[in-house]
Amino acid sequence: MVNFNQKELILEQAGQLFMRYGIKSVSMEDIAREMGISKKTLYQYVENKQDLIHQIFERKIHEEKQVMADIRAAASDAMDELLQIAKYVLGVLRELSPTTVYDLQKYYRETWNSMEALQQRHIYSIILQNLKWGMEQGLYRQQMNPEIVAKLYVAKSSFVADEDLFPPEDYHLEVLYREFISYHLHGIASEKGRQMLDTYLRNTINQDDEKTA
């Protein structure tokens, strides 16, 4: 009988190892040893390493959907929502090994393509809702087609992980994402939105200064 708590623990800890060290360098033996279980026990829950990776990223997307829903429920406005999403994504990127995306693309291409398609559909839905909300609030430009801009956002976000365009030895993902989200917000903000964005950014800078003081 499958122990769902044990399976969740396997997916969580294996995911942490992959995010920290990359996928290729972490073996099934490493995962079993880290968890203090046998490989036989590990294989009761997953068929092989590829199945494990697929389940981990499906779980990550499910978790992300819940996080995004929570952010939306707590946000005071569309710009606040997008900045909170950016903060969440930056936190994920800080934990991500530069080799993880490379390993997925090179050694587990089918899983990468499947997860990227799911992720893109999810991102499109989130950004489209955000754009419409911001336009209703007068924070985003009215002369804008939200469906087109949402698709542009999805297309541009995929470039951030393109290692041919942005080699990891030259561009850190966190820095790239900060530039990307700033570029996006300044492009869609109305005059009212730009004033609010400046306030949000000043508050963020002040918070960072307090943390480093």
Task: Tell me whether residue 119 is in a domain.
Answer: yes
* 108: three-class secondary structure by DSSP: coil
Nearest to 79 by CA among 181, 202, 210: 181
Q: What is the pLDDT of residues 147-189, one digit of tens each?
A: 999 999 998 887 887 778 888 789 887 888 889 998 999 999 9
Is 98 among the domain residues? yes
Alpha-carbon gap, residue 171 to 169, rounded angstroms: 6
Q: What pLDDT score was predicted for residue 99?
A: 82
Whole-number percent of the chain with pLDDT over 70: 93
- Closest to 89 (Cα-Cα) out of 68, 113, 66, 58: 68
Establish if 161 belongs to a structural domain. Answer: yes
Domain-located, residue 81? yes
pLDDT score, position 128: 97
For residue 5, which amino acid is it? N
Burial of 185 (0-12, 13-18, 19+ CB in 10 A): buried
User: Is residue 35, in this structure, part of any structural domain at all?
Assistant: no
Token look-up 């900060």 returns: 178
pLDDT band at 204 (very low <50, low <70, confident <90, very high): low
How remote is the C-alpha of 132 from its chain's centroid? 22
14-33, pLDDT tens digit by residue? 999 998 888 999 999 999 99
Residue 138 per-residue DSSP state: T
Q: What is the CA radius of gyration of the chain?
A: 19
Residue type, 196: M
Residue 36 domain-assigned?
no
Its pTM stands at 0.81
Residue 96 belongs to what domain range? 49-212
Q: What is the pLDDT of residue 2?
A: 52
Beta-carbon contacts of 166 under 8 Å, excluding residues fewer than 6 positions away, are: 159, 160, 176
- Phi, psi angles (nearest 5°) of residue 140: -115, 155
Lowest mean pLDDT among 60-64, 101-105, 149-153: 101-105
Structural domain count, the chain:
1
pLDDT at 3: 67
Rounded Cα–Cα distance for residues 158 and 151 (Å): 11
In a domain, 27, yes or no: no
Question: If DSSP codes are grouped into helix, strand and coil, which group holds residue 123?
Answer: helix
CATH no. for residue 140?
1.10.357.10
Taking each helix axis from N to C end, the angle separating 98-107 and 4-21, rounded to the nearest 10 degrees, works out to: 110
208 or 73, which is more confident: 73
137 confidence band (pLDDT: 50, 70, 90): very high
What are the distances in angstroms from CA 201 to CA 39, 79, 182, 191, 194?
49, 11, 10, 15, 10
Asked if 188 contacts 177 with a C-beta cutoff of 8 angstroms, the reply is no
Residue 42 lies in a domain: no
